[in-house]
Structure 1
């Protein structure tokens, strides 16, 4: 399918046909072009073909799609489709003109169409047009497809139309199918590349980086509405999937509170994110920035014991900080802002957060940001319900637009992670490059695949320090164990530093939660290796702003892509 997703705003009939063709069986080798612009149109200044379906050894079908639920031919011969104004140029004429425009274009570029059936048809996706449209010399019966064809199978309907079209051409053109009909696989690819060529316009790498950074820090209308919600409500929970701008809003919220002369805290759960937030907001008096655990250590004065386990972090440390906060109520701030709240929704953590803000969680200035769909990888469960019991006046504001990822990454995340409702709106403009799924055999060394991915990104102009390698494995990841000498030289743990020139950073998906990188390679994607695999995969894939490589075990890939083992 070209493009690999159906663009937002496409008419319902086009979306329905796109989905039907995308999921159709028996279409190996087919090439489907959707919404193909025609600059040199035979009739108009410019035009468009809704779909061009190229089927090897069968032909090329140009389809005009009509989504209308009412079709009328008026007494004066004008077409009346739904609520559209009457027009003398009917859908069959539109389809024919698009087809002849493309034939002329291909002919000028040396494509021999003498034995390639290239025909047009109209697909009425919401009505039973085949049984209701009368026979007329203006079109052939086989050029009509309708809702029943869509329901019974898009692929058989396309093949039927091509076969009938080829038979018609064979009756009219002598020796048309004498030696068989095309196009073959090579010619199919050539036709597709001529109609929708891939191309690259070189830009200076620095300009690309500046443009990306500008895109990622500019608020859109939805974020402005969220900021308004901050001002109008004392306690707000902002929810949304990865990439919807929650951390960006948390930073802005902290700056606004400090600008008003207030004091308080901006806390998160993830250590690397805490360091980034501290770096981004270094300096303002009256603002404490860091992770929840860092703040609990600071308040309590406790020391981390050797080999500290979950009991220390989740019970002992909160209890120690709670005792200090009860004895020193002046440690509470005017506001409390928490990012990654989905990982802190437990009674011990909420007890200490309650004492960190004047008025407590239920009466103080509290702004919470979280993703309760798939990012609660540390403490899944009924987090929102528990928050509701602690903050009775908590208002909720949902963020839906993806501000981070290019659309093709977001749509791939929808597919792989089965997000409901999933990403629908994207702020950034797509650049036409699909994420890459790289399968590997269970137990095999993934190093060659990782090298291949990194070199492909380097060839695109990405520096090593713009690429991050992630894994769901805390121990034994490909980056940790690779025998490849070049990888061992350039790979460095992310830990507490930004990538320096020539360094390729690696870390776990869990540690990189809340952060992003221009290019991400996720390795060790095997659903049998870690619990909560789909959540981890979702978090890992959504870290990439521009380029994504997913190195996935073959069986897992089959399950994810096809939904079956």
Structure 2
């Protein structure tokens, strides 16, 4: 399926055809293009083919989809649902789209002598009892009953009847096409990979300029909450929470206040520490590194949850009781991961007035990014504060729209992002399917080369996995990959591709992300991990996955 997911705003009938074709085993070797824009239409300034189905050894079927539950054809013309009658036949629409596709391929020097073209109309939500007419052939009509034997069977029936019809009119080659090579050439001609003529350097400059303007707009959220001592900012990934937390900390420090800017994730803590450097009176980093510094404890080699959540906290609490580490303000990013009783006890002693009466700003995503089993973290935080205002962020200012739409579908976001502030560049996320884990090595190499060929520097690419051990990047044996890949929690050295776990990269972002090892939907926290991984890239997303792991999310059945 190209693209491999269907936009949520597509017509219901298109959703149904897409889902049934994608899930039908008979279509495994087919190439299906959905919503193909036709800039060179034979009749209109611009048109569209709902589906172009390329079937090896059979031909190409161009399908017009009509989702209406009531279809009438009489002397007044076509009446589809509650629309006004029109003389324009859906079969004429399909035929014109088919000829537009064929003419375009010929103009691109794609040889089509052995390739059959047919068109049809699929009335997905009704039984199409149409009268005989010279405007169409009965075999060009598909309706809801055709889903009974499978969407693939319906397309094959259309192509076989089309071949029989054309055989009576003209000689057809004994060996029908297209073959695999021709299929790839046709698909590439119709949906070429979009290359950025301006180059990735221009893309980076444009992205940085966009983010600056977007963040200026996001800062209005801080201005709106300026008069409130305690505020909880919530929002999905990509809505600017970390940028706002950093800006809020800088504003407080600029007023001569001292304070903490803390988070859960170690890599994000290091990033915040670097970016907050130079702000007087501001201490930034992860909560664990801060507690270790306060307590003076050494980290044992076998440190586990009991050390981080109990021993370290208890040792830090003894030091915090003397109020020497108390500051004017406390700002927490990733607060959904910090709402354990012990952590909250320590944080309560780190700000003047405590969590209930001090200057405290919290930033978090309680719905999607709680990776550490703190399902009740919102309630735990609210129990420690008194009056606290809430501000909800809904706009995505990190991801390009097509990445954001992919996140909405695969992570089942509801209602999802209200809007995207970055302009669409027309490039879809790429999927590399595998059936066995050892197939990933070759696919990972291909994914990196694809991004490099597009113009991304190697150090702009980050490979993420839900696995802590045995990930595709860590286990690869390919000489080139072993030379290029390096484990990195924030960014890789120049000339190298970094790889990390999704857990470790939480709160961070990269220009291009390759998500690997997506093959265990029953893994604990799988949905949260998938969501976090998918939302890390700013410009390009590549996914190495089994169809079984994410197909139900992409092509979930509809009644």
Q: How far apart are 1:339 and its partner, in Å?
A: 0.7
1:341 aligns with 2:351: no
Which runs of 5 or more structure 2 residues have no equivalent in the other structure? 554-559
Counterpart contact for 1:125–1:147, Cα < 8 Å: yes
Instruction: Give the equivalent residue in structure 1 for 2:355.
Output: 361
Summarize the Cα distance change of 1:365–1:160 in structure 2 as closer, same or farther, 3 Å threshold: farther
Instruction: Give the equivalent residue in structure 2 for 1:163.
Output: 160
Q: How far apart are 1:105 and its partner, in Å?
A: 3.2
Instruction: Give the equivalent residue in structure 1 for 2:556.
Output: none
**Superposed counterparts of 1:115-514, under 5 Å:** 116-128=115-127, 130-131=128-129, 133-150=130-147, 153-171=150-168, 173-176=169-172, 179=174, 181-198=176-193, 200-219=195-214, 223=218, 227=222, 230-231=225-226, 235-258=230-253, 263-298=258-293, 300=294, 302-304=296-298, 306-307=300-301, 309-328=304-323, 331-333=326-328, 335-373=329-367, 375-391=369-385, 393-394=387-388, 396-406=390-400, 418-421=411-414, 426-428=420-422, 429-432=424-427, 434-437=429-432, 439=434, 454-470=448-464, 493-494=487-488, 499-514=492-507
1:544 aligns with 2:537: yes
Instruction: Give the equivalent residue in structure 2 for 1:90.
Output: 89
Summarize the Cα distance change of 1:448–1:105 in structure 2 as closer, same or farther, 3 Å threshold: closer
Give the whole-Å Cα distance in 2 for the aligned partners of 1:271 and 1:312: 16
Give the whole-Å Cα distance in 1 for the aligned partners of 2:215 and 2:24: 37
Give the whole-Å Cα distance in 2 for the aligned partners of 1:427 and 1:152: 44
Give the whole-Å Cα distance in 2 for the aligned partners of 1:152 and 1:236: 56
Instruction: Give the equivalent residue in structure 2 for 1:27.
Output: 27
Structure 2 counterpart SS, 1:92? helix
Give the whole-Å Cα distance in 2 for the aligned partners of 1:181 and 1:485: 42
Q: How far apart are 1:347 and its partner, in Å?
A: 0.5
Give the whole-Å Cα distance in 1 for the aligned partners of 2:493 and 2:140: 61
Moved more, 41-50 or 356-365: 356-365
Counterpart contact for 1:258–1:286, Cα < 8 Å: yes
Counterpart contact for 1:268–1:292, Cα < 8 Å: yes
Give the whole-Å Cα distance in 1 for the aligned partners of 2:472 and 2:186: 41
- Provide TM-score, normalisation by structure 2: 0.81
Give the whole-Å Cα distance in 1 for the aligned partners of 2:476 and 2:183: 41
1:54 aligns with 2:54: yes
Summarize the Cα distance change of 1:30–1:220 in structure 2 as closer, same or farther, 3 Å threshold: farther
Moved more, 481-490 or 45-54: 481-490
- Equivalenced residue count is 550
Counterpart contact for 2:238–2:396, Cα < 8 Å: yes
Give the whole-Å Cα distance in 1 for the aligned partners of 2:476 and 2:119: 54
Instruction: Give the equivalent residue in structure 2 for 1:516.
Output: 509
Structure 2 counterpart SS, 1:219? helix
Q: How far apart are 1:337 and its partner, in Å?
A: 2.0
Counterpart contact for 2:3–2:428, Cα < 8 Å: no
Counterpart contact for 1:445–1:478, Cα < 8 Å: no
Summarize the Cα distance change of 1:413–1:137 in structure 2 as closer, same or farther, 3 Å threshold: same
Q: How far apart are 1:348 and its partner, in Å?
A: 1.0
Give the whole-Å Cα distance in 2 for the aligned partners of 1:528 and 1:5: 18
Give the whole-Å Cα distance in 1 for the aligned partners of 2:222 and 2:147: 45
- Provide TM-score, normalisation by structure 1: 0.80
Instruction: Name which structure has the greater RCO, CA cutoff 8 Å, separation 6+.
Output: 2
Structure 1 counterpart SS, 2:27? coil
Q: Once the two structures are superposed, what CA deviation does each residue of 1:401-433 show, in whole Å capped at 9, x if it has no partner?
A: 5443445655666677x5454966655425535
Structure 1 counterpart SS, 2:40? coil
Counterpart contact for 2:521–2:550, Cα < 8 Å: no
Q: How far apart are 1:488 and its partner, in Å?
A: 6.4
Structure 2 counterpart SS, 1:54? strand
Give the whole-Å Cα distance in 2 for the aligned partners of 1:350 and 1:155: 57
Counterpart contact for 1:354–1:360, Cα < 8 Å: yes
Q: How far apart are 1:20 and its partner, in Å?
A: 2.7
Moved more, 323-332 or 524-533: 524-533
Summarize the Cα distance change of 1:87–1:196 in structure 2 as closer, same or farther, 3 Å threshold: same
Moved more, 335-344 or 191-200: 191-200
Give the whole-Å Cα distance in 2 for the aligned partners of 1:45 and 1:491: 48
Q: Once the two structures are superposed, what CA deviation does each residue of 1:424-466 show, in whole Å capped at 9, x if it has no partner?
A: 6655425535435475966x69877766655554444333332
CA RMSD of aligned residues (A): 4.2
Structure 2 counterpart SS, 1:331? coil
Give the whole-Å Cα distance in 1 for the aligned partners of 2:522 and 2:69: 50
Q: How far apart are 1:270 and its partner, in Å?
A: 1.8
